Amino acid sequence: MNDELQKLQDKIVVLLRTVYDPEIPVNIYDLG
């Protein structure tokens, strides 16, 4: 179960890194 949760979390982080704020050149994950 823990491995599945970690894999899901990793996929979510990858997707969040693709979402950018149009006013600043930083993805929302790194922005916080």
Q: In the predicted model, is pLDDT for residue 4 greater than 70?
A: yes
Q: Is the pLDDT of residue 15 over 90?
A: yes
Output the pTM of the full model. Answer: 0.67
| Closest C-alpha to 18, from 29, 8, 7, 10 | 29
For residue 6, give its domain range: 2-31
Return phi, psi of residue 28, to 5°.
-70, -25
Give the distance, in angstroms, between the CA of residue 9 and the centroid of all CA atoms in the same chain.
8
Q: Give per-residue pLDDT as tens, 19-28.
A: 988 888 888 8
**Number of domains forming the structure of the chain:** 1
